[in-house]
Structure 1
Amino acid sequence: MTTATPTRKHTRVVRGATAVMGGRRSLRPSPYLVFGTLFWVLMSAAAWRVPICCDFGQHAAVVERLKADLLNPAHPMADLPGAGSAYYSPYAVAQGLVAQLTGLAGWQVVKLTGPLNLLLLLTGLGRVVRTLSPRPWAPVLALAFMVLLWGTKMAWWSGYLGLMSMTGHLSFPSTFGIGLAFWIWASTARLARSGGPLAAYAGLGILSGVVLLVHPISAVAAMIGVAAFVAGWQRDWHARVVGRWALVAVVAVLVATAWPYYSVFSLVGDQSVDWIHKQLYTEMDARFWLALIGLPALWLRGLRDRRDPLVLMFVTEVAVIAYGWLSGHYTYGRILGLTLVPLQFALAVELAQARPWPAGRRFLAQATAAAAALGFLVQGGAVVPRSVDPVGLDQPPRWAEYDWAARRIGPGEVVLTDGYRPSRSLPGYGPNLVAPAWPDASLPEPERARRQRDVAAYLDPGSTRAERAAIVARYHVRWLLLDPSQKAPQEAVVVAWGPRTGEALARVGPGRRAA
């Protein structure tokens, strides 16, 4: 039988999903479709089994407040107005609408968002890598390197795409923002190379505005990527081209400005969370050194083309991180996770090249395989349950649940606690706190600090009953959640104990429920 030669157009149609053999179309999924699907199933299951921990309660609380009032949500964690809170992004409002329509709890909606975010991330990754290389295995390698090539000390932070970190942060806005950023990069690359209709540029501007609203710090890295692809691949610069790229910027700004819940531009220069992010700059060598194996691949790309987008992206992101350190605006360190992407993707593209390989590439492949294996030893516990783990891999955090307390606390009722974990988890079930755990634009920092002092004063063993009563009345406190080492005040009635932690839930004062 003579094998028919497919036309270029035909090849584009069947690439990845089908193959042309003997003049007939034969279904054959691409390697990335197979391995990406397997990864989606495995990681979705792994993330689902991780209990509520860390910042999850904050995001679930946001959905609860939007579920209660979609147009005028309260402060995410306190019995206060929520006007101006940056948590009320288009992403969160969509989650709140789903919660209203389905009746699901905030934490349930946030959990269910994880697989959708992962799907956006995986499809975006595939699109970006295909703009860099036509090789079918390049996206598979890019995915493997993205989740494994980090460091030998755990990097657990929202927006970090390591295997372990993804289990806890898959359902967060940062993951959605990064997935959207990948799609933005792919669209930018296509427009820079081949151009497109005016609507395509306007659409890119809309997506850019959305990512800016959903996760502003990820938007910094996203826009660096856009600039890198435009600077690297846009060759013909004339008035029409300049106008179209200007349209992208104008539409993005208009979308961000039109959002009614908060002003994203008010966050410029805001240092209220810089103290939290200073720790991102600690132990960077231990957290990220495995990714540096991608430097030779990135260096080769730079030698071939000084305007290579991955090289431009990496250099610019490193400069932004350095600025964050030198200026004290440590929040810019949040782009560290995406700064590794050019290294990881460049390595994937280099190793996906057709054989025979030169000696240098063979050595790079062997070193990468060893680094990936080491990365799995560090992070493999994310997907390997303890029950079937033969070597004792590190596992994701397993915080105690607070549903036992939430069942007794009415929606919007105020809880006084200074516990690290309950103050981060309990609001995700609907209750409010006297002192929110995180800074928020809808509550001035001096007021949040005053509330923290009042919590400490109430729990001080030397406080008088009158002093405690004044604090209860001031914040409409209905409940106390006490650590086992803390003694319940005389006027409090303990109604339940935490099954794992021994914490006590006590009722005080008449309180009131938020409207």
Structure 2
Amino acid sequence: MSGALLTRRACHGATALGDGGRRRRPTPYLVLGGLFWLVMSLAYWRVPMCCDFGQHAAVVERLKENLLHPAHPMADLPGEGSAYYSPYAVAQGLFAKVTGLAGWQVVKLAGPLNLLVLLTGIGRFVRVLTPRPWAPVLALFAMVLLWGTRMAWWSGYLGLMSMTGNLGYPSTFAIGLTFWAWAWAGTLTRDARRGRWPYVGLGALCGLILLVHPISSVGAVIGVVAFAASGRAVGRRVLCWAATAVTAAVIGAVWPYYSVFSLVGDASVDWIHRQLYTEMPQRFWLALLGLPALWLRFRRDRRDPLVLMFALDCAVVAYGWVSGHYTYGRILGLTLVPLQFALAVELAAPRVWGWRRGALAGAAALGACVGFFQIQAGAVVPRALDPIGFDQPPRWPGYGWAVGHMHRGDVVLTNGYYPTRSVPGYGANLVAPAWPDASLDEDVRNRRLAAVRTYLDPESTRAERAAIVRRYDVRWLLLSRDQRVPSEAVVVGWSPRTGEVLARVGGPASAGGPASAGGPAGPDGPKGALRDGSTPTNAPLIG
């Protein structure tokens, strides 16, 4: 980030060296933003793998294995056409290959880097809106606190609590780039004398966002359009803005790993995103404290970019609901940004405070306290230091005890919610992927899901189970405590936390050493011994 962004210069006659130069003083955003980066990075690191983390770690594992032709992220199938193989993921895969780090380690390391991109983007974007030094600080805290009083946890939602889980995701990186794109568009709108190349550069940035996280690119493009429409010379710069659009489209079209435009109209994941539209008032009502500030901006300028951005975002979200393409609800997190940032800019303005602005400031402070103590506090207050009992980020069970027995690429049959989302992150494959993917026909995935159900059905015969094992080259079963272990399976591990059982089927044992087992091996094994007669030893995880 440039010095003009992070520091303000104040001339005091002479520096300490007496050379008559200028002395740099850290801005409030540099100090408080740096502290925020440190606290949130530590908060992110203390949360174990959960939610979509395993999916993104699996993507890195596949790219680490084969950078040019990665397999399906979760199954032993071709991965050509998977939208997960973005430039961001390819860079992570290359980094993993060079360093030898595991996929989950790379995703963990990505969190602080993504947060840095996000914070610098916020700072640059707010500087385009106002030069006030405290405005970026207020915008940051409005963005992470003013949500609602029901949990809003989703990729691309940047409240404090959700940040602890998704800082390492591509969506966070893409949103950070989105703020940079908006700032760039705002700069171009102000200076109509610039040539066409800056517009081409902005198009390249938008194209990168499109490839990294396609749904976030919708919000990014909306913001760029809002700034373009707010400019007084927009009519004379049509060809320049057209160059931005063409460049973004070309970059999206030439990416070799998948066709981003094939995702337009894809309804395979809409059923997953329908829940984004449930309990919306409870999840987002605190952000509405920014409506008075947005209204003031509208009264001053009917073409204000934040006002246009908010209107266009709401239109897209409404289209997602009416059309049934609920995936468009993923931009709800970016829809709140105009409200949050308009409030921050208004409160940072150096005007004489009347009762209206005082009331707005008081309401914002109260809303931030409500949001923090009701929902967000557990993100940064560890349980050991928690005097109240705040809600904490999810702490999913780990599967090191299971994957330590496996080779990279081994196929695991399971239908458990946690293992289907976690185990592939260590390099193993599932019989049936947990999520739809453009690289796998949905009918094929459904047949695989049916095969898993058939295998785990207590009424299935040994011959039926053997046929499924052969068809999908299954090596391991990961069963919940209430699922029956088939007679032909050999139990080799057991989780004392969840009661889940790992059993071997379909061939000779993998050469990888068994993982540490701190409890009984299962219903038929004594404490400290495994059912196949081996004894627990320590072994590294896959990858």
TM-score bracket, shorter-length normalisation = over 0.9
Structure 1 residues 511 and 166: alpha-carbon distance in aligned structure 2, compared to 1, 3 A threshold: farther
Map of 1:465 onto structure 2: 462
Which runs of no fewer than 5 residues in structure 1 stay unpaired?
Answer: 1-11
**297-306 or 401-410, which deviates more:** 401-410
The answer to whether 1:176 aligns with 2:167 is no
Structure 1 residues 154 and 453: alpha-carbon distance in aligned structure 2, compared to 1, 3 A threshold: same
Structure 1 residues 339 and 13: alpha-carbon distance in aligned structure 2, compared to 1, 3 A threshold: closer
C-alpha distance in structure 1 between counterparts of 2:158 and 2:5, whole Å: 31
Map of 1:206 onto structure 2: 204
The answer to whether 1:16 aligns with 2:13 is no
C-alpha distance in structure 2 between counterparts of 1:439 and 1:512, whole Å: 31
Map of 2:404 onto structure 1: 407
C-alpha distance in structure 2 between counterparts of 1:32 and 1:436, whole Å: 43
C-alpha distance in structure 2 between counterparts of 1:404 and 1:228, whole Å: 51
C-alpha distance in structure 2 between counterparts of 1:30 and 1:88, whole Å: 38
Identity %: 68
State the Cα deviation string for residues 255-294 of structure 1 (Å, max 9, x = none). 0000000000000000000000000000000000000000
C-alpha distance in structure 1 between counterparts of 2:308 and 2:110, whole Å: 33
C-alpha distance in structure 2 between counterparts of 1:480 and 1:84, whole Å: 29
Structure 2 SS opposite 1:237: helix
Map of 1:493 onto structure 2: 490
Map of 2:255 onto structure 1: 259
Deviation at 1:14, TM superposition (A): 9.3
Structure 2 SS opposite 1:81: coil
Map of 2:213 onto structure 1: 215
C-alpha distance in structure 2 between counterparts of 1:100 and 1:173, whole Å: 19
Structure 2 SS opposite 1:28: strand
TM-score by length of 2: 0.90
Structure 1 SS opposite 2:10: strand
The answer to whether 1:110 aligns with 2:101 is no
Deviation at 1:237, TM superposition (A): 2.5
Structure 1 SS opposite 2:388: coil
Give every structure 1 segment of 4 or more consecutive aligned residues whose post-TM-superposition deviation is greater than 3 Å.
Answer: 12-15
User: Are the equivalent residues in 1 in contact too, given 2:63–2:90 (CA < 8 A)?
Assistant: yes
State the Cα deviation string for residues 44-72 of structure 1 (Å, max 9, x = none). 00001100001100000000000000000
Residue 284 (structure 1) aligned to one of 271, 274, 280: 280
Q: RMSD in angstroms over aligned alpha carbons?
A: 1.4
User: Are the equivalent residues in 2 in contact too, given 1:405–1:505 (CA < 8 A)?
Assistant: yes
Structure 2 SS opposite 1:18: strand
Residue 123 (structure 2) aligned to one of 117, 123, 126: 126
Deviation at 1:18, TM superposition (A): 3.0
Map of 1:78 onto structure 2: 75
C-alpha distance in structure 2 between counterparts of 1:364 and 1:166, whole Å: 27
C-alpha distance in structure 2 between counterparts of 1:315 and 1:251, whole Å: 26
1:366-377 equivalences under 5 Å are 366-377=362-373
Structure 1 residues 14 and 171: alpha-carbon distance in aligned structure 2, compared to 1, 3 A threshold: closer
User: Are the equivalent residues in 2 in contact too, given 1:14–1:20 (CA < 8 A)?
Assistant: no
Map of 1:424 onto structure 2: 421
Which runs of no fewer than 5 residues in structure 2 stay unpaired?
Answer: 15-20, 511-543
Structure 1 residues 167 and 244: alpha-carbon distance in aligned structure 2, compared to 1, 3 A threshold: same
Map of 1:454 onto structure 2: 451
C-alpha distance in structure 1 between counterparts of 2:317 and 2:238, whole Å: 29
User: Are the equivalent residues in 1 in contact too, given 2:6–2:30 (CA < 8 A)?
Assistant: no
The answer to whether 1:272 aligns with 2:268 is yes
Deviation at 1:17, TM superposition (A): 4.1
Deviation at 1:510, TM superposition (A): 1.8
Deviation at 1:110, TM superposition (A): 0.5
C-alpha distance in structure 1 between counterparts of 2:506 and 2:163, whole Å: 42
Aligned AA for 2:209?
A: V
C-alpha distance in structure 2 between counterparts of 1:22 and 1:117, whole Å: 39
User: Are the equivalent residues in 2 in contact too, given 1:476–1:511 (CA < 8 A)?
Assistant: no
Structure 1 SS opposite 2:492: strand
User: Are the equivalent residues in 1 in contact too, given 2:270–2:326 (CA < 8 A)?
Assistant: yes
Map of 1:9 onto structure 2: none
Structure 2 SS opposite 1:276: helix
Map of 1:358 onto structure 2: 354
Deviation at 1:487, TM superposition (A): 1.4
Aligned AA for 2:256?
A: P
User: Are the equivalent residues in 2 in contact too, given 1:413–1:511 (CA < 8 A)?
Assistant: no
Structure 1 residues 15 and 497: alpha-carbon distance in aligned structure 2, compared to 1, 3 A threshold: closer
State the Cα deviation string for residues 391-417 of structure 1 (Å, max 9, x = none). 111100000111111111110010000
Aligned AA for 2:149?
A: T
Map of 2:480 onto structure 1: 483
Structure 1 residues 98 and 359: alpha-carbon distance in aligned structure 2, compared to 1, 3 A threshold: same
C-alpha distance in structure 2 between counterparts of 1:313 and 1:234, whole Å: 17
User: Are the equivalent residues in 1 in contact too, given 2:5–2:124 (CA < 8 A)?
Assistant: no
TM-score by length of 1: 0.95
Structure 1 residues 13 and 502: alpha-carbon distance in aligned structure 2, compared to 1, 3 A threshold: closer
State the Cα deviation string for residues 138-163 of structure 1 (Å, max 9, x = none). 00000000000000001000000111
Structure 2 SS opposite 1:322: helix
**37-46 or 17-26, which deviates more:** 17-26
